[in-house]
Every structure is written in structure tokens, then in C-alpha cells.
């Protein structure tokens, strides 16, 4: 089973930036489309951004133009650069592969954006 460890979250003011990381424990990471998800309190988990092995990216409309997903296969690490953060971006952020079944979920990383 692949282990995923998310990091980089924190408390930031509206308009600020954060860079999230997701480290995978196995090299199968390199052949999977990877996804960042987020879950806000009392809401369902939603897709934020995805990236294929060929670095084709897709973004939710709510983050398009503000967030950038990237990956470094040599480090088995997924990134999410988040700029111009808004209070509605407050959530726990998770990474996982796109295909089913998902790997075991990590603990996520909390992002809190103050107004």
C-alpha cells in the first residue's frame, strides 16, 4: 500500500500564498494521474486540481488562475502552489491518485485563510 504524507498547510491572511507538498512512499506514483482534493467543514470532499504523468493539468473553476499543480517524479512528490488565497479556500487538503480504488488517505494538511 502506498503511503501519502501531505504538508505545507497553515494559517494565512486573505491574498496570501502557501505551497503544499504530498510525498508518496512508492514509485508507482510516477505512473499515476495525481489529484489534490480538499474538504471543508460540513462539506463533501472536492477535487481541486489534477496532473497526468505527462503533466497535463486540470483545475476546478474556483481555483483556476490562482493555484498551480506540479509534480517531481524523481522525488515522488506532488505540489500545489496556492496564490491569492481566499477564506473559502479554508479546508483540509489531501492528495491521492485519480484511479480507483484510491490509496489509503493521508492525514491531510489544514489550510486556514483569514479574512
* Mean confidence (pLDDT) of the chain: 97
Check whether 13 has a pLDDT greater than 90.
Answer: yes
Residue 107: Cβ within 10 Å count: 11
Phi–psi pair at 87, nearest 5 degrees: -55, -30
Beta-carbon contacts of residue 13 (< 8 Å; ≥ 6 apart):
113, 114
Check whether 5 has a pLDDT greater than 90.
Answer: yes
Check whether 55 has a pLDDT greater than 90.
Answer: yes
Helix (H) or strand (E) holding 102: none
Amino acid at each position: 500500500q502506498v503511503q501519502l504524507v501531505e504538508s505545507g498547510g497553515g494559517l494565512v491572511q486573505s491574498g496570501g500564498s502557501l505551497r503544499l507538498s504530498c510525498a508518496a512512499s512508492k514509485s508507482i506514483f510516477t505512473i499515476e494521474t495525481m489529484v489534490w482534493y480538499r474538504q471543508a467543514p460540513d462539506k463533501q470532499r472536492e477535487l481541486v486540481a489534477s496532473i497526468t504523468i505527462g503533466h497535463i493539468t486540470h483545475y476546478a473553476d474556483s481555483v483556476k488562475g490562482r493555484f498551480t499543480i506540479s509534480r517531481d517524479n524523481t522525488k515522488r512528490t506532488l505540489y500545489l502552489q496556492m496564490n491569492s488565497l481566499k477564506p473559502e479556500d479554508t479546508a483540509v487538503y489531501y492528495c491521492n491518485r485519480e484511479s480507483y480504488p484510491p490509496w489509503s488517505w493521508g492525514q491531510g494538511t489544514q489550510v486556514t485563510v483569514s479574512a
